[in-house]
Structure 1
Amino acid sequence: MDAAMTSKTQTACPSCGGPISDADRFCEACGAELTPTAPSTPAIDTDTEPTVELDPGTTAPTPPAGPCRSCGGVIGPEGYCENCGTKAAKPRDHFTEQPATWVAGTCDRGIRHSRNEDAMAIAADAEPGSRALLVVCDGVSSSLDSDVASLAAARAAREVLVAGRAQGLGTESSRIGAVAARLKAAADAASDAVLENTSPDSPNPASCTFVATVLEDGLLVAGVVGDSRAYWFPDDAEPMALTVDDSWAAELIATGVPRHEAETGPQAHAITRWLGKDAPDHTPRTTSVKVTGHGWLLVCSDGLWNYCSEAAPLADLVRQTAAAHNGEPLATSSALVDWANAQGGQDNITVALARL
């Protein structure tokens, strides 16, 4: 996520004049890389950023010995091309997860960013349509170590969701309440993980968004903090967005500003809630839906929905992409990431899918 939280001081981008935070590394309006102006905010050295270990079951490319993706040259022992100096891809730049045949996700650095601050952690039972847990966290680019914090947050939330399976008191409303309570506990664990990966004296504490979905026995519940999203695309009914962003754009839409205008404005991705040391509140807003037929569950970061925001056209994109890849979730999620990169790839991209 490029945009800063709304509590940061706003200045102007030297390239396009759009509003930026005093700690932003990229301009949301034009994508220009920004030079820090405040000496108290150290620049992030991407050559020495913390090592982020992926799960044993996660598929990620190993740093290649060659050839270089930029020029075809040989990658040296230090991880740089000996011909052009391009740094080799890191496992954190692009990874996938597929806990079951019907559930999978792809997380990618994108084109414009120097590191991947998105993260995901997913789990599922083997039986299609039975139980799936999808978590996506999007690190805020203006904060330090957000790539480490977002991955720790996603995994911590998944652990809580996997461990619990409360059914309430037997009624539908109590069951929804029980799942919503688990989502709150997952967000609490994610917030704690962010704090554990934040230096106590950091001038820009790590922060990230949070979205998670719980699918169990026909009940789908989603919880959100920030502007990562969840959608439900039934095959035989209207597609729907399960979440509402905590963002300046969402507030404008609520007042009647057209969606396209609000989501392309200079502060479109300024979020109003997040996980982190300086977060005002991290209790997820939840929504639920009874799933009675076939369809696609999508959980994603703004790296995807930036290019296709509304539920109906995004549902068409997912369905067409899935049809071109035999309905296979992993191939479909990877192809959707490729599509977002083809649109410009200005942000990190995460796509997690479950096929019911």
Structure 2
Amino acid sequence: MDVAMTSTTQTVCPSCGGQVSEADRFCEACGAELNPTAAPASPALDTDTEPTVEISTAPAAEPVGPCRSCGGAIGAEGYCETCGTKASKPRDHFDEHPAPWVAGVCDRGIRHSRNEDALAIAADAEPGSRALLVVCDGVSSSLDSDVASLAAARAAREVLVAGHAQGIGTESSHSNAIVARLKAAADAANDAVLDNTSPDSPNPASCTFVAAVLEDGLLVAGAVGDSRAYWFPDEDEAVALTVDDSWAAELIATGISRAEAESGPHAHAITRWLGKDAPDHTPRTTTLCPAGPGWILVCSDGLWNYCSEAAPLADLVRQTAAAHGGEPLATASALVDWANAQGGQDNITVALARL
């Protein structure tokens, strides 16, 4: 995605005509690579550079097999011995599954050369008790956004895991305590982005932030940017827990249809984000008490790009879950596969908790 304010020259994508800046490496409208033959100006622009934040104990430079394209063996040089496809890196696709009722999957998608999305989740073992879901989406026009987004998501999770304030015993005080902790998590995430930004970077690292906290019967969600959180009850209407900080959302607020606003040239221009040049990184929050069974979904725009309205997205989640036995990890993985089947033009992250 792109930030709404930029000092770089604006131009258009040669593939679809969408508006892009000279600093962008990919078109957010169609996913096309921009200037694919241009040599990187510095090592920081190399899209194959391994992130410094690891998501597994295996060395980041080692390929992960089998081949994601054909299932063949990966050779010593990092290419499939059957089809010749370059091996994926651990950062390209990973999942977290802290409890049977909570899971998430983060994937590079099809069109981008690296995964700038990030995921960090935690949960208690008892179903429906306590779950913490964090998703960050790196801004593709900024440098090292893949490193910064993962560091931000993990820093936020650490803050959320460490705190368990109950307030003074009333529901409102408990809600206020969770909101305060969620805002502290956003502060920690922003600090993590700053820690992974070069002081002299011409395009400082930046990312979105969304988190959902389920605790003692309360669900609190907060976001900065256009990654989203939802509550999909089994027997009631779907609820969008967050409102995008984007030009598209502002157009929708003026009465322009969602379809028109989210397909325009500024559809992915965000107005708030985490990072050095962020105007404000305090998340707007929503609190509710889930009644009955349902799904909590936290996702990046790589998923909702293809199904933006809450009601049809809820139907998609329910149908996908039904086809996979209601198992969160299998459901999240299938939703990622579905987004890739729609075109996979962006990185895709899906985090689910089943109540």
- Where on the TM-score scale, by shorter chain, does this alignment land: which range? over 0.9
CA 241–257 in structure 1, closer or farther in 2 if over 3 Å, else same: same
Aligned partner of residue 2 in structure 2, secondary structure: coil
Residues 243-258 of structure 1 mapped to structure 2, 5 A cutoff:
243-258=242-257
- Deviations 1:336-355, CA, capped at 9 Å, x for gaps: 00000000000000000000
Distance in 2, Cα, partners of 1:237 & 1:45:
47
Q: Secondary structure at the match of 2:219?
A: strand
Deviations 1:140-175, CA, capped at 9 Å, x for gaps: 111111111111100000000000011112222222
Structure 2 residue 237 is the aligned partner of structure 1 residue 238 = yes
Assess, with a 3 A threshold, how the Cα gap between structure 1 residues 167 and 63 changes in structure 2: closer, same or farther: same
Give the structure 2 partner of residue 22 of structure 1. 22
Letter in 1 for 2:274: L
- TM-score normalised according to structure 1 size: 0.92
Contact between 2:132 and 2:161, CA under 8 Å: does it hold in 1? Answer: yes
Mapping of residues 57-72 of structure 1, within 5 Å: 63-64=63-64, 68-70=67-69
1:175-324 pair list within 5 angstroms: 175-324=174-323
> For 1:187-226, what per-residue CA distance to the aligned partner results, in whole angstroms no more than 9, with x for missing partners?
0000011111111111111111000011011100001000
Task: Please tell me whether the aligned partners of residues 142 and 204 of structure 2 are also in contact (alpha carbons under 8 angstroms).
Answer: yes
Distance across 1 between alignment mates of 2:108 and 2:46:
17
Conserved? CA contact 1:23–1:36, under 8 Å: no
Contact 2:30 2:345 in 1 (8 A): no
> What is the CA–CA distance in structure 2 between the aligned matches of 1:334 and 1:40, rounded to whole Å?
33
What's 1:7 paired with? 5
For residue 331 of structure 1, what is the amino acid of its counterpart? A
Distance 1:63 1:38, change over 3 A: closer
CA distance in 2, matches of 1:230, 1:178: 19
Q: Could you tell me how far 1:241 is from its partner in structure 2?
A: 0.3
Offset of residue 18 of structure 1: 1.9
Distance, in Å, in 2 between the alignment partners of 1:81 and 1:39 is 25
Q: Which secondary structure does the structure 1 equivalent of 2:87 belong to?
A: coil
Provide the residue aligned with 2:46 in structure 1.
Answer: 45
Opposite residue 6 of structure 1, the aligned amino acid is A
Q: Distance in 2 between matches of 1:313 and 1:228?
A: 17
The CA distance in 2 between the partners of 1:206 and 1:277, in whole Å, is 7
Question: CA–CA distance in 2 between the matches of 1:102 and 1:38?
Answer: 46
Q: Counterparts of 1:276 and 1:133 in 2: how far apart (Å)? A: 22
Structure 1 residues 177 and 65: alpha-carbon distance in aligned structure 2, compared to 1, 3 A threshold: closer
User: Would you say the 8 A contact 2:48–2:114 is kept in 1?
Assistant: no
- State the Cα distance separating 1:51 from its structure 2 match: 4.1
Map of 1:24-173 to 2, 5 A cutoff?
Answer: 24-35=24-35, 42=42, 44-54=45-55, 63-64=63-64, 68-70=67-69, 75-81=74-80, 86-173=85-172
SS of 1:48's equivalent?
coil
Assess, with a 3 A threshold, how the Cα gap between structure 1 residues 324 and 266 changes in structure 2: closer, same or farther.
same
Indicate the RMSD between aligned Cα atoms, in angstroms.
Answer: 2.3
How far apart are 1:70 and its partner, in Å? Answer: 4.8
Distance in 1 between residues matched to 2:82 and 2:324, nearest whole Å: 37
Distance 2:231 2:250 in 1: 22
Distance 1:12 1:191, change over 3 A: same
Structure 1 position 81, deviation (Å): 4.2
User: What SS does the aligned partner of 1:233 have?
Assistant: strand
Q: Deviations over 1:113-138 (max 9, x none)?
A: 11111110000001100000000000
| Partner amino acid, structure 1, of 2:5 | S
CA gap 1:186/1:41 in 2 versus in 1, 3 angstroms: farther
1:281 shift after superposition: 0.7
Range moving further from structure 2, 200-209 or 28-37 = 28-37
Q: What is the deviation of 1:49? A: 3.3
Q: Deviations over 1:5-54 (max 9, x none)?
A: 01113322233332112211111223221128999964721333334311
Taking the aligned partners of 2:134 and 2:328, their CA distance within structure 1 comes to 16
| Contact 2:121 2:134 (C-alpha < 8 Å) held by counterparts | yes
Greater shift, 218-227 or 24-33, is seen at 24-33
CA distance in 1, matches of 2:40, 2:116: 22
Query: Comparing 77-86 with 155-164, which one deviates more in the overlay?
Result: 77-86
Contact residue 52 and residue 92 of structure 1 kept, 8 A: no
Instruction: Decide whether the 8 Å contact of 2:121 with 2:157 is kept in 1.
Output: yes
Displacement after TM superposition at 1:109 (Å): 0.6
Q: Flag structure 2 segments of 5+ consecutive residues without an equivalent.
A: none
Aligned residue for 1:77, secondary structure, equals coil
Question: Could you tell which deviates more after superposition, 9-18 or 196-205?
Answer: 9-18
